[in-house]
């Protein structure tokens, strides 16, 4: 099913602007999803997009990363139909976590869909004409490039961090001991170890049952650099920039990797400042890559700041989250929708603190999501149970991947452990021609491309459901002695209300819709020039009527312009006479 079919009902409520842009005839910059794109490749692509489509794209540098890379956001909107801030906005980003590189790829796919569809696809054309889409493929460019150019994994920022709290920073990283370009597992024979050889395939291990002798003790590949008896417990970085947001932030002893204070990191601070200076944003998607599901706020227990009691989400917001989540499940092959984290249980176990989407909902007041896109299921779920077991992944390795994603166990003389075996599953594949790695979960092909396209479909569907305020009617009724009554009707023709969430009303960040009148050849004699009409319900609820009395100061019909301004629902005007 295409985006157009899914959104047919919604589009009836979102007519094209009277100003019609000509179809784009420029040749779109080529983008091939055959590997994970490095920061330099993304920068090159974004610059080519802006050069090719200067009327619908702009590139913002919103700050610099810890290592000094520009933090780039692509703005997509038709500049001829109004300034970006006067239209409902939508934000999406990727690669906040360094190794979760699929987030960058789905952001790039969204850009690809928008620039290729504009002028050719009615839904995309309307979206770019009437909304503003902000896309940040690489929120953590330092970490992403480290992951793509080094054999070890990385989730965090590259800022040095004392992960094991021993007073030293990044002193015990993993090492590629056998020089094969991978960080794998090491196993040593140990009857007291927790693992044993799998009865299904000797290459695999399973956990020994209670009371059953073990066979293997397992470590990640490397040495104990700081002689503390642990291996690779303090590698590069460790500060989790998805635990560094103001929403329910906690100190490191409660939430590991949170950083010294909220927004301490240049990446999180730059994004927060950009969003706060762009209050037109009505929704946020923070793409991740683990688990094949989507989750949304609350990410931790939420307490009333005055009473200290747990504060449940409003039923209205809960209903919208459910609606959006069900659509995700429908588009993405019935994938799981995980509604909340931390609904119960002690703080250390039942919650994740300082998360971007928690801040975006609790403080910024918009619906926010984390699609955890990574999974082997699209490639290796041979029994169609929604998951890819290790034995299924081995089958995929043996039959379709030419043995590239599993390294057979090979003896190695370890300087500290003695005789070990190194092997196991590979998480990413190195391309010597490009000099970079690609995640196995991003294996090129039709399955991966369709996966990206489906996420883009859901993203842009949500963007189209923003509030959209319009002045639907302005009339002038003559009265005696040169007086006239001006009547205007203002309606929200979008799906969401102009406050977007009830949470935004709770925390008093939702600004009301204001309607103003401008006159030429007349003076205002009754009514305020600017009228506060509060918030407008969504889903084409009935219009609000505003009236003024004017007196003409010239011959002929005076000029009248009525303008409605909504922070989240955009700006619209309608005129008479003049």
| 282 located within any domain | yes
Beta strands (DSSP E) in 9-106 are: 57-64, 70-76, 89-93
pLDDT at 12 over 60: no
pLDDT (tens digit, 9 = 90+) per residue, 113-138? 999 999 999 999 999 999 999 999 99
Structural tokens at position 69: 């890379």
- Domains identified in the chain, total number: 3
The number of angstroms, rounded, from the C-alpha of 363 to the middle of its chain's C-alpha atoms is: 17
pLDDT at 421 over 70: yes
Q: Are residues 297 and 352 in the same domain?
A: yes
Residue 276, number of CB atoms within 10 A of its CB? 12
| 32 located within any domain | no
Q: Are residues 178 and 76 in the same domain?
A: no
Residue 548, number of CB atoms within 10 A of its CB? 23
Q: Are 448 and 442 in contact (CB under 8 A)?
A: yes
Provide the residue range defining the domain that includes 42: 3-14+37-147+238-376+449-463
Q: Are 360 and 366 in contact (CB under 8 A)?
A: yes
Beta strands (DSSP E) in 498-569 are: 513-520, 522-526, 530-534, 544-552, 559-566
| 106 located within any domain | yes
DSSP string, 205-268: EEEPPTTS---EEEEESS--TT-SS-SS-B-S----TTS-SSTT---TTTSTT--SSTT-SHHH
pTM of the model as a whole: 0.91
First to last CA, the chain: 47
The number of angstroms, rounded, from the C-alpha of 412 to the middle of its chain's C-alpha atoms is: 42
Q: Are residues 454 and 320 in the same domain?
A: yes
The CA distance from 202 to 198, in Å, is 6
Q: Are residues 494 and 346 in the same domain?
A: no
DSSP string, 360-419: HHHTS-SEEEEEE---SHHHH-TT-SSS--HHHHHHHHHHTSTTTTEEEEEEEEETTTEE
pLDDT at 302 over 70: no
Q: Are residues 282 and 325 in the same domain?
A: yes
The CA distance from 103 to 478, in Å, is 59
DSSP string, 464-492: TTS--EEEEEEEEEE-GGGEEEEEEEEEE
| 479 located within any domain | yes
**Domain with 572 in it: what CATH number?**
2.60.40.10
* The pLDDT of residue 10: 37
| 160 located within any domain | no
Q: Are residues 341 and 411 in the same domain?
A: no
Q: Are residues 63 and 44 in the same domain?
A: yes
pLDDT (tens digit, 9 = 90+) per residue, 313-352? 899 999 999 999 989 988 986 566 655 544 333 343 457 8
| 395 located within any domain | no
Helices (H), 68-101: none
Residues 6+ apart with CB under 8 A from 333: 454
Q: Are residues 89 and 102 in the same domain?
A: yes
| 159 located within any domain | no
Name the residue with tokens 């104990």: 224
Helix (H, G, I), strand (E, B) or coil at 202: coil
Q: Are residues 345 and 370 in the same domain?
A: yes
pLDDT (tens digit, 9 = 90+) per residue, 256-296? 899 999 999 999 999 999 999 999 999 999 999 987 788 88
pLDDT (tens digit, 9 = 90+) per residue, 155-166? 999 999 888 788
Helices 102-117 and 446-463 pack at an angle, to 10 degrees, of 70
pLDDT at 85 over 90: yes
- For 292, the enclosing helix (H) or strand (E) is none
Q: Are residues 245 and 364 in the same domain?
A: yes
* The pLDDT of residue 7: 40
Beta-ladder partners of 551: 483, 523
| 252 located within any domain | yes
Q: Are residues 222 and 268 in the same domain?
A: no
Q: Are residues 491 and 543 in the same domain?
A: yes
Beta strands (DSSP E) in 57-172 are: 57-64, 70-76, 89-93, 132-136
């Amino acid at each position: 099913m295409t985006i157009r079919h899914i959104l047919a009902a919604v589009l009836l409520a979102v007519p094209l602007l009277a100003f019609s842009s000509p179809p784009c005839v420029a040749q779109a910059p080529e983008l091939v999803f055959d590997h994970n794109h490095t920061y330099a490749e993304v920068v090159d692509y974004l610059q080519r997009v802006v050069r090719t489509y200067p009327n619908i794209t702009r590139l913002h540098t919103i700050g610099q990363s810890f290592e000094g890379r520009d933090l780039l956001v692509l703005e997509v909107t038709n500049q001829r139909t109004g300034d970006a801030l006067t239209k409902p906005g939508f934000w999406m980003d990727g690669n906040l976590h360094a190794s979760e590189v699929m987030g960058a790829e789905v952001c790039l796919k969204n850009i690809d869909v928008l620039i290729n569809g504009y002028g050719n696809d009615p839904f995309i054309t309307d979206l770019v004409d009437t909304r503003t889409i902000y896309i940040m493929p690489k929120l953590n460019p330092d970490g992403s490039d480290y992951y793509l150019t080094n054999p070890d994994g990385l989730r965090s920022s590259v800022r040095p961090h004392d992960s094991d709290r021993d007073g030293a920073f990044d002193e015990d990283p993993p090492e590629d001991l056998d020089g094969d370009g991978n960080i794998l597992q090491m196993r040593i024979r140990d009857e007291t170890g927790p693992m044993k050889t799998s009865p299904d395939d000797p290459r695999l291990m399973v956990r020994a049952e209670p009371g059953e002798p073990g066979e293997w003790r397992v470590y990640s590949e490397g040495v104990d650099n700081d002689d503390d008896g642990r291996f690779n417990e303090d590698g590069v970085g460790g500060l989790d920039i998805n635990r560094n947001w103001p929403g329910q932030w906690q100190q490191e002893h409660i939430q590991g990797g949170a950083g010294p204070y909220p927004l301490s990191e240049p990446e999180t601070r730059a994004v927060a400042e950009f969003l706060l200076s762009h209050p037109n944003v009505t929704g946020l998607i923070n793409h991740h890559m683990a688990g094949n599901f989507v989750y949304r706020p609350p990410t931790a227990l939420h307490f009333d700041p005055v009473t200290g009691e747990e504060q449940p989400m409003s039923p209205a917001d809960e209903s919208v989250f459910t609606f959006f989540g069900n659509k995700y499940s429908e588009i993405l092959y019935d994938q799981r929708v995980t509604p909340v984290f931390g609904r119960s249980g002690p703080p250390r176990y039942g919650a994740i603190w300082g998360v971007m989407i928690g801040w975006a909902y609790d403080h910024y007041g918009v619906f926010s999501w984390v699609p955890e896109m990574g999974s082997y299921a699209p490639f290796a779920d041979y029994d169609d149970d929604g998951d890819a077991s290790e034995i299924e992944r081995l089958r995929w390795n043996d039959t379709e991947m030419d043995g590239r994603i599993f390294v057979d166990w090979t003896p190695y003389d370890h300087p500290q452990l003695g005789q070990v075996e190194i092997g196991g599953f590979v998480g990413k594949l190195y391309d010597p021609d490009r000099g970079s790695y690609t995640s196995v979960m991003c294996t090129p092909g039709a399955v991966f491309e369709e996966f990206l396209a489906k996420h883009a479909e859901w993203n842009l569907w949500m963007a189209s459901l923003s509030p959209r305020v319009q002045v639907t009617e302005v009339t002038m009724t003559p009265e005696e002695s040169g007086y006239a009554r001006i009547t205007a009707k203002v309606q929200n023709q979008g799906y969401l209300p102009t406050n977007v969430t009830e949470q935004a009303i709770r925390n008093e960040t939702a600004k009301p819709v204001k309607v103003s009148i401008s006159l030429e050849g007349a003076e205002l004699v009754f009514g305020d020039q600017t009228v506060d009409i509060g918030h407008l319900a969504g889903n084409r609820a009935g219009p609000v009527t505003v009236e003024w009395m004017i007196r003409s100061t010239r011959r002929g019909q005076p000029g009248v312009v009525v303008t409605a301004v909504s922070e989240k629902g955009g700006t619209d005007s309608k005129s008479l006479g003049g």
